[in-house]
Structure 1
Amino acid sequence: MAQVLVAPRVRLNRDRVLQAAVQLADQIGIEPLSMRRLAEELGVVPMALYKHVANKEELLDAMVEVIVAEIDPPHPDAGWKAAVRLRVLSARQMLLRHPWARPVLESRTSHTPTVLDYMESTIGMFLAGGFSVDLTHHVMHALGSRMWGFTQELFETPTGADGAVAPQPQPQPAQLLAMAERYPNIAQISAAAAHDDSVVTSGCDDRFEFEFALDLLLNGFERLHDTGWSSADAAPAV
Structure 2
Amino acid sequence: MTRRTPLSRERVIAGAGAVADRAGVDAVSMRSVAKVLGVEAMSLYHHVPNKEALLDDLVDWVFEMIELPEVGDTWREGLTRRARSARSILTAHPWALGMMVRTNPGPALLQHHDRLLGVLMAEGFSAALATHAFSAIDAYVYGFALTETTLPFEPGEGAEEAFASQVAASAELYPHIARSRAELFGDAGYAFGDEFDYGLELLLEGLERRVAEESPAPRER
Normalised to the residue count of structure 1, the TM-score between the two structures is 0.71
- Cα separation, 2, equivalents of 1:220 and 1:212: 13
- Cα separation, 2, equivalents of 1:135 and 1:127: 9
- Cα separation, 2, equivalents of 1:156 and 1:73: 23
Encode CA deviations 1:84-135: one digit per residue, 9 max, x unaligned: 11122122222233232223326x4443221121111111111111122232
Q: 1:212 to 1:167 in 2, by over 3 A?
A: closer
Q: Offset at 1:176?
A: 6.0
How many residue pairs get aligned? The number is: 210
The residue number in structure 2 matching 1:184 is 175
- Cα separation, 1, equivalents of 2:37 and 2:212: 54
Q: 1:97 to 1:80 in 2, by over 3 A?
A: same
- Cα separation, 1, equivalents of 2:164 and 2:207: 43
Residue number among 150, 163, 179 corresponding to 2:142 in the alignment: 150
- Cα separation, 2, equivalents of 1:222 and 1:173: 39
* Larger helix proportion of the pair: 2
Kindly, what percent of the aligned residue pairs are identical?
33
The answer for unaligned runs of 5 or more in structure 1 is 1-5, 160-164, 231-238
Q: 1:94 to 1:114 in 2, by over 3 A?
A: same
Matched, 1:102 2:94: no
Residue number among 188, 204, 215 corresponding to 1:218 in the alignment: 204
Q: Whose relative contact order is higher, 1 or 2, with alpha carbons under 8 Å and at least 6 apart? A: 1
The answer for unaligned runs of 5 or more in structure 2 is 217-221
- The 5 Å alignment of 1:130-145 reads 130-145=124-139
- The 5 Å alignment of 1:1-238 reads 6-105=1-100, 108-146=102-140, 149-152=141-144, 156=147, 159=150, 177-178=169-170, 180-189=171-180, 192-194=183-185, 203-206=190-193, 208-228=194-214
- Cα separation, 2, equivalents of 1:95 and 1:157: 10
Q: 1:185 to 1:120 in 2, by over 3 A?
A: same
3-state SS of paired residue (1:76): coil
Mean Cα displacement is larger for which, 184-193 or 29-38? Answer: 184-193
- Cα separation, 1, equivalents of 2:40 and 2:135: 44
Normalised to the residue count of structure 2, the TM-score between the two structures is 0.76
Does structure 2 retain, via aligned residues, the 8 Å contact 1:24–1:38?
yes
